[in-house]
Amino acid sequence: MRRLGHRVVDLVVAHVEGLRDEPPVRTADRARLEALLREPPPEAPGDVGAALELLASQVLAHMQHGDHPRFFARVPSPSNGVSALADGLAAGFNAFAGSWAGGSGPAVLELVVLDWLRELCGLAPGVEGVLLSGGSVAALTALATARHEQPGDTVYLSDQAHASNLRALRVLGVPHVRVLASDERFRLPPDAVQAAIAADRRAGRSPFCLLATAGTTNTGAVDPFGALADVCARERLWLHVDGAYGAPAALTERGRALLAGIERADSLSLDPHKWLFQPYEAGCLLVRRPGALERTFAMAPEYLRDVLGGEVDFRDRGPQLSRGTRAAKVWLSIKAFGIAAFRAGIERGMALAEHAQATLEGTPGWEVVTPAQLAIVTFRRDGDDALNAALVERAVVDGYAAPSSTVLRGRTVLRLCTINPRTTDAEIDETIARLTALAE
Ligand SMILES: Cc1ncc(COP(=O)(O)O)c(C=O)c1O
């Protein structure tokens, strides 16, 4: 095991050190990978060293590398090595964080990390939470909690809310989901919410939740939390804020100004595997109302009777009973680098998007569609939708950088999400230069 472990560390270090020399996205055709990997499960022990090399060189090489400094697509995951080691350590100990009796150490660490994340987002002491696999499961957990605490049948969100929220509502069987048009800056207008609630009440429905977004995936837009929280207070709605992408920006001064009012959320999700530099999987849900998670998720079957009633049983705060520790990686990396480094990393992401915007504005043929906000800038090449979509494909084939595309108000746009603090200004410039060349 020791020898294999050293080799694993060497492979990870070589991956990180060599990233810049590789394309950010590498895809192989299925037949080629199946030829390498498909076989009956071996009956006898095999050469684990060779299998490890195959894993690294073929399986893990053929992916989108969310930690690559020129991966700007969708939402990157600029991970860090310390967290990866913590994940390895936790797996090596097969850490259990489902109950107090079964894992008081991991449980306390999770409480500590949750409190750090709460403070980082500017939420009041006393907020409770749970670490989850990511934003999608955080949405499911939040919306289940909202409906349990405040029963009803109608939810409001904007046309810019992430699709995982719609999926969560579908899974939960919420009958009425009102998708409201966003304003000219892609934010959810409080007046439209108010009007929709009134119309639904007149129709005999019972609104129970409003979902707002702290940093939309499309443009980094932030919904007006203060005014939306006022509507929720007046109408007795649960306010869930999807901060999976943008909430960590609250660590910085200007991020906190942009996210003003976020502390009024009844629940807030955020994804440390996005802008807090953690490897997959690391999501988080914070809930203001004490005991709400337990009231929604607790279970007490007879076969758990020996491990019931602990100080805190995280199996009762979400949909997972057996669960590992996601706190270890967040904790160890914050201990190693300090919050100032995280803050500087987030600042850097915002500055990179501003740099991209300035470069695009100085390059003929490009239109900035939405300005840099929370490290996302969207832009468009003179020409039609087909050209703009084709540019992303051409960039991936070119192999230098990976932008992505999306559709805003019916128009295809390109998009850079620049949250990797290791990206250099020169790499942004070269990305735009190559896109310019690919358009010609
Ligand atoms: C705003 C927002 N919410 C939710 C999600 C879903 O998160 P996950 O992919 O971790 O499930 C994303 C993913 O990009 C997102 O950007």
Closest atom of ligand 1 to CA, residue 214? 1
Q: CATH classification of 86-337 is 3.30.420.40, yes or no?
A: no
Q: How far apart are CA 22 and CA 63, in angstroms?
A: 11
Closest atom of ligand 1 to CA, residue 74? 14
pLDDT score of 23: 97
136 lines ligand 1 (CB under 6 A): yes
Q: Is 376 helix (H, G, I), strand (E, B) or coil?
A: strand
Residue 61 identity (one-letter amino acid): A
pLDDT score of 396: 93
277 lines ligand 1 (CB under 6 A): no
Q: How far apart are CA 23 and CA 57, in angstroms?
A: 14
Contact 143, 240 (CB under 8 A): yes
Q: How far apart are CA 297 and CA 141, in angstroms?
A: 9
Contact 134, 283 (CB under 8 A): yes
244 lines ligand 1 (CB under 6 A): yes
Nearest to 280 by CA among 139, 134, 138: 134
DSSP for residue 279: P
To test ligand 1's pocket by mutation, which of 218, 245, 259 has the most ligand atoms within 8 angstroms of CB? Answer: 245
pLDDT score of 224: 98
Closest atom of ligand 1 to CA, residue 217? 16
What CATH topology corresponds to 340-439?
Answer: Aspartate Aminotransferase, domain 1 (3.90.1150)
Residues of the chain below pLDDT 70: none
Closest atom of ligand 1 to CA, residue 216? 1
Q: How far apart are CA 17 and CA 237, in angstroms?
A: 49
Q: How far apart are CA 143 and CA 369, in angstroms?
A: 32
Q: Are strands 238-243 and 207-213 parallel, antiparallel or unpaired?
A: parallel
Residue 127's CB is within 10 A of a number of other CB atoms, namely 21
Domains 86-337 and 340-439 share a fold: no
pLDDT score of 435: 98
Nearest to 130 by CA among 320, 349, 305, 277: 320
Residue 126 identity (one-letter amino acid): G
Nearest to 244 by CA among 158, 163, 134: 134
Give tens-digit pLDDT for 21-62.
Answer: 999 999 999 999 999 999 999 999 999 999 999 999 999 999
245 lines ligand 1 (CB under 6 A): yes
To test ligand 1's pocket by mutation, which of 271, 273, 278, 284 has the most ligand atoms within 8 angstroms of CB? Answer: 271
Q: How far apart are CA 55 and CA 424, in angstroms?
A: 30
Give tens-digit pLDDT for 250-292.
Answer: 999 999 999 999 999 999 999 999 999 999 999 999 999 999 9
Ligand 1, atom 14: closest residue by C-alpha: 75
Contact 269, 135 (CB under 8 A): yes
- Total-model pTM: 0.98
DSSP for 219-257, please give it: T--B--HHHHHHHHHHHT-EEEEEETTTGGGGGSHHHHH
283 lines ligand 1 (CB under 6 A): yes
Sign (positive or negative) of CA dihedral 173, 191, 266, 221? positive
320 lines ligand 1 (CB under 6 A): no
Q: How far apart are CA 161 and CA 211, in angstroms?
A: 8
Structure tokens belonging to residue 106: 């991991």
55 Cα–ligand 1 center, Å: 27
71 lines ligand 1 (CB under 6 A): no
Q: Would you list the domain boundaries of the chain?
A: 2-66, 86-337, 340-439
Ligand 1, atom 4: closest residue by C-alpha: 135
281 Cα–ligand 1 center, Å: 12
Cα dist. 67→27, 138, 174 in Å? 16, 22, 36
To test ligand 1's pocket by mutation, which of 64, 71, 75, 141 has the most ligand atoms within 8 angstroms of CB? Answer: 75
